[in-house]
Amino acid sequence: MSEGSIKSERERVPYWDNIKGILILLVVFGHFIWGYMGTGLAGVILSFIYIFHMPAFVFVSGFLSKSEHSRSKQSLIKLALIYILFNTTIMIVSVAVFGSSFQLLTPSYSFWFLLSLIIWRAVEKYIPQSNLFIIVCVAAAILIGFWKDVTNVLAIARTIAFFPFFHIGYKLPAEKTRHLIYHRKPKIYIIGILSLLYAALLSVLFLNRNPWLGETDFLMNSYSSVTDAITRITLLCLAGLVTAALVLLAPVKPIPLLCKWGKNSLSIYVLHRFITFAYAKSFPAATYSDYYIIYAFGAAFITTLVLGSDMVAGKFNQFINKAMQFFAFNELYAKKKTKRVAAIVSLLLLFLMLPMLPKIQPARKATVQANLSQQNFDDVIHSVITSEQEAALKDAVTIAFVGDLILLQDQVRNAYQDSTGEYDFTPMFAYTKDYLTEADLAIGIFEGPMAGEEVGYSTSNFGDGIPLYLNYPDAFAYAVKESGIDLVSTANNHLLDKGEEGAMRTLDVLDQVGLMHVGSWRNSSEKASVPVIEVRGIRIAFFAYTYGSNYYKGEYFLRENPSLTSILADPSDEYFEEVKMMVLNDFQRIREMENPPDKIVVIPHMGTQFSHETDLYQDTWNNIFVEAGADIILGDHAHAVQPIEFRRATDKAGKEKLTVIVNCPGNFANSYTEKNGDATAIVEIFLDPIDKKIICAGVVPMYTQCPINGNYRALPIYSIVNDHVLQGEISRYEFERVEQVVNTVTSVMLGTPLTIDQIQERHYLFPEGYVRQEVCPIKITEDMRNTVLFGLLSEAKSVCFVGDSLTEGTKNGGYGWYEPLVAAFPDLIVYKQAWGGGTTRTLIDNTKTILANNAQLYVIAIGTNDIRYRDEQICAMDKESYIKNIDTLIGKILDGNPEAKFVFISPWLAQANDPYTRVSIEERDEMLHEYGEALRSYCIMNGHLYINPNPSLKALLTKYQPSDYLLDHIHPNAGKGIALYSEKVLEASQ
């Protein structure tokens, strides 16, 4: 990649810019889908791109490095400055976003290319002129993989492995190449097309034969076995074939976007990686679907379009030129500048080294482990609810809150029953009724009037171009009451959709139905009375406010009809200070009551519609409510889920006070499902009945769905996953959307994204963060009760599960494979000591940690990674070494715990799409069998229980869809997956 300023527009050759434009788009797209390696169609596309895109780019860079300017000291220093500035910046961002570590000598992400380019350009003039040297380069690229100490430090491994492409490009005769480009005959195009087709066919066959290919292959890391060398040779050949096809087929005339992207490729390459971080956070691999490919390509295209624009590239070059001047690199060899340069460089190096000082230690084994570990920065281990937290929730007072109870035109019409001539809205609440009736108090937002049939029901479906005026049949109020909702707020922007008469009639109907209400009143005396409801001994006062009402200005509510409702005002509004004082006076009335309530709940109707983030309006009023003394804030109106917050403050008496803010739970059920309108939740607030303090919040994620012959309804996603009748009413296509809804609701409201397999009846959010519940136990059959493992678990008081990522739950949020099994033994004390990517060597190194629990029974599942990783530094490379390591581990445990008993599980099976396996699938499976048999013999000789669940697991995963049970090539999901593994392990212990 050459700097954008090397050539003027007149001197540039569109042909090369076209090629660079194609390649830089593939570079960006590849980085957007990098996190999906080994997953679905995206993994296949990524593998194909990585076969050739960087070798081809390196080849082009070599050809364009012929000029003296590109190899001048000034040019190389400029590249070095770009590398130092942006590699350091992205390293800091990575630490902040992903929690990665500072690495002084190892390039971060794609910035290795800049360092390699500097080296290639610097050494090329010292390379022998003989064409035979190309053979030496290729041989070095292949052989360097056998040296394990040649790593990505200073990008050495990639610099050597990709150098043949740079050297060939550099040595390519310029005039002959130009003649070939501009005088191509039809047979050249035919050769190019055939080369491309042949390369594509070979790539498909190669990827199909080697599905385990991963980053260690594409990034030219050291080999783990001889077969890796064959893999590299194949990759280099395929890359050469595709590169040749590109050279033969690329158009000479400038292709507008491609040519511009090629010209500005440096700014694109340097800046795009920062944007991919945001994408990786928004569309993590844990929630992958093939739709993500479309999103990623769109994001890559827009990113390339923006960063490849002349404006961005110009600003980028201006910044670099000013940096060059600032660091005096334009006069680097002027003596008067030397001290300044030395001082700046020294400070920069000191800055980079400081974070590393506490981490300096012998790093060989740790580095290998980090490279091979299946953990990455997206892996999250969720905390499990403690017994103390469970005890606090057992008898807690519960307030349930649902969002806007709103009926658009379709919803009203769908509810009409020809047979009776009546409206029936009860199906909307069929699956939420249990949650609402079980709560001690359930609250909703009655967003719309009941003005009577004669004035016409809701006029629009929103977004259809028809003016929206809401009006509901009286039957809706009865359905809301029957659903379990006890209290509704009528303060909302649709309050006056049918005028003041409609608002008054609404209150009359609510009174007839028996629904308590707050937020609008018939007169000033009603408004002056603060509603206080006693809920299991806790007296709770309620205030409700709205930002306004459609078609009416704030002046109407302040001057003409002040008793109708209570309004809020925008901080920039002329009435803001007046409204703020009115709100503060409401809280003052509470403090002056003879018998003040224990808690104050505020229900504000405010926020930006369809936004998952709060706005300035919300933040301002939330702060006012908290400072005024609100305990619970239940917001609505955004029609989209928003974060739950906990605020700690000190009240006027000097006591610490905790306030929980539910900014918005989304709608309850609405026919407008665009903009994530179908992603909603029930939020529960749990209060201690004794000290009346807030314990935590609970979130019940829901999906809005409408049967063809029914109405829109709110479906708790836990019910969708576990109710077989309901599953028959959900299509596969809808279920994909349900999976996205889970991610949306949990990532926004809980602050941590969950997947469909992690769904629980409710998710608890404590002030300290999200905690998950323990899983449900598997159903224990009579045959299972007669197994040896069941007997051992029944007799033991404590058990420690030891192993790798399947035991730790590295990929599924921390749900170990054994959890549904031990859930059937409620009195059993359970410990877990496991490490993602762990091998037998890992367990030996952590024996003290394993011994710390002093368990009576140890269930150990280890060995798969010894087979898959094939690194002699951390793996048992053969079955004899494997058993030796097992024996060493047992000996160390028995030294500290002589009475311990042991259960061993055969090394876990893995699927054919395993990207981390360093041997062929056939070799891997054969070794799994060999290691398993060796372990079985060892257990028989030493009196330990050996369990091999793999045959029954394989049979089931062959018969049914593996994705229903597995997250990837090996890890069970947190739902059906761990339940399956628990069952098969128990059954196999006959």
CA atoms within 13 A on the CB side of 234: 17
Share of the chain above pLDDT 90, in %: 60
928 domain-assigned: yes
Cα 933 to Cα 540: distance, rounded to the nearest angstrom: 66
Please report, as a single letter, which amino acid is at residue 70.
Answer: S
74-83, 382-391, 423-432, range with the lowest pLDDT = 74-83
Residues 609 and 665 in one domain: yes
Q: Which residues are CB-contacts of 476 (< 8 A; sequence separation ≥ 6)?
A: 405, 407, 415, 423, 425, 450
Alpha carbons 97 and 18: distance in angstroms, whole number: 35
The least confident of 245-259, 707-721, 775-789, 814-828 is: 245-259
Half-sphere CA count of 964, side-chain side, radius 13 A: 11
Of the two residues 602 and 106, the one the predictor is more confident about is 602
Same domain, 623 and 535: yes
Q: What is the pLDDT averaged over residues 63-88? A: 83
Tokens of 532: 């206080």
**What is the 3 state secondary structure string of 716-730?**
EHHHHHHCHHHHCCC
What is the SS3 assignment for 946? Answer: strand
Phi, psi (degrees; rounded to nearest 5) at 697: -115, 155
Q: DSSP letters of 97-118?
A: HH-----SSSPPGGGHHHHHHH
Fill in the DSSP letter of residue 906. P
Query: Are residues 598 and 683 both part of a single domain?
Result: yes
Contact residues for 633 (Cβ-Cβ < 8 A; gap 6+): 601, 602, 603, 604, 622, 625, 626, 659, 660, 661, 662, 663
0.85 surpassed by pTM: no
Whether residues 928 and 969 fall in one domain: yes
522 with 588, same domain: the answer is yes
Q: Is 435 within 8 Å of 682 (Cβ atoms)?
A: yes
3-state secondary structure of 681: strand
pLDDT of residue 352: 46
Note whether 948 and 918 are within 8 A (CB): no
DSSP state letter for 210: -
Domain CATH number, residue 418: 3.60.21
pLDDT digits (tens, 9 = 90+) for 919-929: 999 999 999 99
In a domain, 174, yes or no: yes
Question: How far is it, in rounded angstroms, from Cα 401 to Cα 667?
Answer: 11
The CA-based angle 728-734-739, given to 5 degrees, is: 110
Q: 892 and 746, same structural domain?
A: no
How long a stretch of residues is the chain?
A: 990
Give the span between the Cα atoms of 923 and 935, in whole angstroms: 18
Tell whether 376 is covered by a domain. Answer: no
Rounded to an integer, what distance in angstroms lies between the CA atom of residue 741 and that of residue 756? Answer: 9
Q: Are 582 and 721 found together in one domain? A: yes
| 281 & 411 share domain | no
**Per-residue pLDDT for 805 more than 90?**
yes
Same domain for 797 and 714? no
Tell which of 712, 738, 766 closes a domain.
766
Domain holding 125, by residue range, is: 14-326
Q: Would you call 273 helix, strand, or coil by DSSP?
A: helix
Angstrom CA distances, 336 to 328, 329, 332, 346, 348, stand at: 10, 12, 9, 17, 20
Q: Which of 737, 766, 795 is the last residue of a domain?
A: 766
Angle at the Cα of 115 from the Cα atoms of 226 and 54, rounded to 5 degrees: 55
Q: What is the pLDDT of residue 377?
A: 44
pLDDT for residue 647 is more than 60: yes
**Residue 11: per-residue pLDDT:** 54
Q: Which of 326, 349, 367 is the last residue of a domain?
A: 326
**Residue 159 CB-half CA count within 13 A:** 22
Asked whether residue 237 carries a pLDDT value surpassing 50, the answer given is: yes
Query: What pLDDT score does 374 carry?
Result: 44
In-domain check, residue 620: yes
User: What burial class does residue 12 get, using C-beta atoms within 10 Å of its C-beta: 0-12 exposed, 13-18 middle, 19+ buried?
Assistant: middle
pLDDT at 578: 96
Report the pLDDT value the prediction gives residue 218, as an integer from 0 to 100. 65
Of the segments 152-166, 179-193, 582-596, 665-679, which one has the largest average pLDDT value? 582-596
Q: Pick from 627, 616, 601, 630: which is nearest to 542 by CA? A: 601
The region of weakest confidence among 399-408, 664-673, 893-902 is: 664-673
How far apart are alpha carbons 32 and 34 in whole angstroms? 6
For the chain, the domain total comes to 3
743: three-class secondary structure by DSSP: helix
Residue 692 in this model has a pLDDT that exceeds 60 = yes
Of 387 and 111, more confident = 387
Specify the CATH number for the domain of residue 814.
3.40.50.1110
pLDDT digits (tens, 9 = 90+) for 2-21: 333 334 444 568 888 888 88
Residue 286 has pLDDT above 80, yes or no: no
Same domain, 923 and 790: yes
In this structure, are 746 and 837 located in the same domain?
A: no
774 belongs to a structural domain: no
- Alpha-carbon distance of 526 to 511, in angstroms, equals 14
Residue 803 is assigned to a structural domain of this protein? yes
What average pLDDT does the structure give for the chain? 88
pLDDT of residue 378: 59
DSSP structure string for 780-843: PPHHHHTSHHHHHHHH-SEEEEEESHHHHTTTTTS--TTHHHHTT-TT-EEEEEE-TT--HHHH
Return the closest-CA partner of residue 472 out of 437, 445, 435, 438.
Answer: 445
> Residue written as tokens 């052989």?
143
Q: Using the 8-state DSSP alphabet, how is residue 667 labeled?
A: B
A 10 A CB-CB count for 89 gives 15
Q: Report pLDDT for 103.
A: 64
Residue given tokens 């809808």 in the structure block: 734
Poorest-confidence range of 76-80, 799-803, 942-946? Answer: 76-80
- Residue 925 is given by DSSP the state H
Q: Would 816 be classed as within a structural domain?
A: yes
Phi first, then psi: give them for residue 538, nearest 5 degrees.
-105, 120
* Cβ-based burial of 348 (10 A; exposed 0-12, middle 13-18, buried ≥19): middle
Helix (H, G, I), strand (E, B) or coil at 645: strand
Q: Do 164 and 281 reside in the same domain of the chain?
A: yes
Tell me, yes or no, whether 735 lies in a domain.
Answer: yes
Contacts of range 612-618, beta carbons closer than 8 Å, 24 or more positions apart: 612/640, 612/641, 612/642, 612/676, 612/744, 612/748, 613/642, 613/643, 614/642, 614/643, 614/663, 616/571, 617/547, 617/568, 617/570, 617/571, 618/663
Give the whole-angstrom CA distance, residue 295 versus residue 32.
9
pLDDT in tens, 321-376: 888 777 655 544 444 455 555 555 555 544 444 444 443 333 333 333 333 444 45
Distance of CA 811 to the CA centre of its chain: 12
Give the type of residue at 197: L
| Token pair recorded at residue 51 | 């076969």
State the DSSP string of 540-574.
Answer: EEEEEEES-BTTB-HHIIIII-TTSB-B---TTST
What local confidence, expressed as pLDDT, does residue 375 receive? 44
Q: Which of 53-57, 246-250, 818-822 has the highest mean pLDDT?
A: 818-822
Strand-pair category, 487-489 with 441-446: parallel
Residues ≥6 apart with Cβ < 8 Å to 248: 184, 188, 189, 191, 192, 195
